[in-house]
Structures are given as structure tokens and as C-alpha cells.
């Protein structure tokens, strides 16, 4: 194991402890201090933890400087030569980056993390086990696109998803919202906030409501001018 990977693992543990507000001892007990268990740690992202976001961002900043030195991050290295452990560590870091940026209301960072993370979700899908957080994060991104009225990007993202994922609770929720908007059932969307499958979705629901209001205004103007 390279020194860079060892340092990444150490900081990744710090990030998990900071985000979940647990001690290193608790993390060691939960993973039996085993790297494979750490890489496959099943965190419950449905719970909003009372963490120090600024401290998490600080650790993320250090990790971003480290991971660029991992050989598997180099796009010139062919997939067959990449270290699975390195890829899993980086994927976990990027997932944390997505969640922390949303909680910090940092949309620019959210988009950067998503763009990088999708490489690990889709380009490396044949060599990495599917992340337990993948559908929740993909659904979150779809909701962001819908709220931003980026319909073209919304459907392009849908096209790269396996059909079975369309029935996942996180993604199906967004698809139902999009269908209601397409059908003009705006009142159905406006009452869906209480039924969101993940608390992080709330971050984009207010933006979606604003988008819907503008759509309603456009409909009113269109009807009065026809």
C-alpha cells in the first residue's frame, strides 16, 4: 500500500468520524479496523447528523490535495490497471463531498463533485460494486436539474441509468415530480415536499417551487395572448 493511500485512508476515517459525529474508537469497533469493511461501510444518509460542516470541509480540502497523487486517478492509466481500493476511497470521498456541499448550500462544489463522482458510478461500473448511496445521490442530482429547469440534462442523465433504477424510491420520486410538471399538475408537486424520500431533497424543493411559479406565469401569459 502506498504512503499516499495510507494517508488518504487516515483522513477518510477522520472525515467519517467528523461527519457522523463519532469517535475513532467507535469507527474501529464498527469496522473491526478492517479496510474492506471501511470501504463498504453502510452509512445511513437518511439521517441529518449534527456535524461540524466547516471541519468536514477542511478535511475534504486535504483529501482533494492527496487523491490527485493516487495512480488510479490518472485518466491515462487503463481501467484494468487501476487499484480498486483507491477507486473506492475516492468514490467515498466524492460522495461525502456531494452531501457536505448540499448541506453547506454550495451548489458550485456540488456540481464539481457530481461530475467527478459520475465517473466512478458509470465509467467504472464494471469493476466497482454499486455504492449503497448511488441512487440517492443520482436522484438528488436529477431533482437539482429539474429545479434548475435543465430538462435536456435531466433526460440525458436518465438515459445512462439502468431501467431497474427508475423504480428505486429515490429516483422514482423525482420521475413522478417531473411527470406531474409535464402534465400540468403543479398542485401535486407543491404538496410533495412532506413526502420527500431523503432530507437532502428539501434543498432543491424550494428552488423547484420557484421554477414552477415561473412556468405558471408563462402559461397565464400564453393563454391571455392566444
Q: Last residue of a domain, which of 83, 107, 132?
A: 132
* Dist CA 203 CA 109 (whole Å): 14
Q: Which domain holds residue 220?
A: 133-226
Q: List the beta strands (DSSP E) in the chain.
A: none
Instruction: Inform me whether the pLDDT recorded for 78 exceeds 70.
Output: yes
Taking residues 71-97, report their average pLDDT: 93
| Average pLDDT of the chain, as a whole number | 90
Instruction: Inform me whether the pLDDT recorded for 220 exceeds 70.
Output: no
Based on the fold, state whether residues 113 and 14 are members of the same structural domain: yes
* Dist CA 5 CA 76 (whole Å): 19
pTM value?
0.91
When pLDDT is cut at 50, 70 and 90, the band that residue 221 belongs to is low
* Dist CA 96 CA 94 (whole Å): 5
CB-based contacts of 80: which residues, under 8 Å, 6+ apart? none
pLDDT in tens, 91-128: 999 999 999 999 999 999 999 999 999 999 999 999 99
- What would you report as the CA-atom Rg of the chain, rounded to the nearest whole angstrom? 19
Return the pLDDT at 13.
Answer: 94
Instruction: Inform me whether the pLDDT recorded for 187 exceeds 80.
Output: no
H-helix or E-strand spanning residue 219: helix 202-225
Based on the fold, state whether residues 35 and 54 are members of the same structural domain: yes
Rounded percentage of the chain residues whose pLDDT exceeds 70: 95
Q: How many residues does the chain have?
A: 226
When pLDDT is cut at 50, 70 and 90, the band that residue 190 belongs to is confident
Cell of 202: 428539501
When pLDDT is cut at 50, 70 and 90, the band that residue 2 belongs to is confident
Return the pLDDT at 186.
Answer: 77
Based on the fold, state whether residues 112 and 141 are members of the same structural domain: no
Return the pLDDT at 166.
Answer: 96
When pLDDT is cut at 50, 70 and 90, the band that residue 39 belongs to is confident
Based on the fold, state whether residues 85 and 187 are members of the same structural domain: no
Return the pLDDT at 192.
Answer: 66
Our count of domains for the chain comes to 2
pLDDT in tens, 136-170: 999 999 999 999 999 999 999 999 999 999 999 99
* 72 vs 217, higher pLDDT: 72
* Dist CA 112 CA 109 (whole Å): 5
Based on the fold, state whether residues 119 and 164 are members of the same structural domain: no
Q: Last residue of a domain, which of 132, 150, 180?
A: 132
Based on the fold, state whether residues 150 and 43 are members of the same structural domain: no
Amino acid at each position: 500500500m502506498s504512503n499516499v493511500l495510507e494517508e488518504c485512508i487516515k483522513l477518510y476515517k477522520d472525515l467519517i468520524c467528523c461527519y457522523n459525529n463519532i469517535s475513532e474508537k467507535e469507527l474501529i469497533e464498527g469496522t473491526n479496523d478492517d479496510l474492506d469493511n471501511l470501504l463498504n461501510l453502510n452509512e445511513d444518509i437518511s439521517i441529518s447528523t449534527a456535524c461540524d460542516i466547516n471541519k468536514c470541509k477542511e478535511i475534504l480540502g486535504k483529501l482533494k490535495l492527496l487523491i490527485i497523487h493516487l495512480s488510479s486517478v490518472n485518466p491515462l492509466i487503463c481501467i484494468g490497471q487501476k487499484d480498486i481500493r483507491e477507486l473506492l476511497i475516492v468514490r467515498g470521498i466524492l460522495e461525502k463531498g456531494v452531501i457536505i456541499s448540499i448541506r453547506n448550500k454550495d451548489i458550485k462544489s456540488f456540481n464539481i463533485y457530481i461530475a467527478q463522482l459520475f465517473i466512478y458510478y458509470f465509467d467504472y461500473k464494471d469493476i466497482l460494486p454499486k455504492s449503497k448511496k448511488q441512487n440517492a445521490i443520482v436522484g438528488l442530482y436529477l431533482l437539482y436539474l429539474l429545479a434548475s429547469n435543465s430538462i435536456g440534462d435531466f433526460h440525458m442523465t436518465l438515459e445512462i441509468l439502468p431501467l431497474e433504477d427508475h423504480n428505486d424510491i429515490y429516483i422514482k420520486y423525482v420521475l413522478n415530480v417531473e411527470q406531474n410538471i409535464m402534465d400540468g399538475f403543479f398542485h401535486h408537486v407543491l404538496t410533495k415536499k412532506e413526502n420527500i424520500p431523503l432530507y437532502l431533497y428539501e434543498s432543491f424543493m424550494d428552488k423547484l417551487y420557484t421554477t414552477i411559479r415561473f412556468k405558471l406565469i408563462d402559461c397565464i401569459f400564453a393563454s391571455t395572448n392566444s
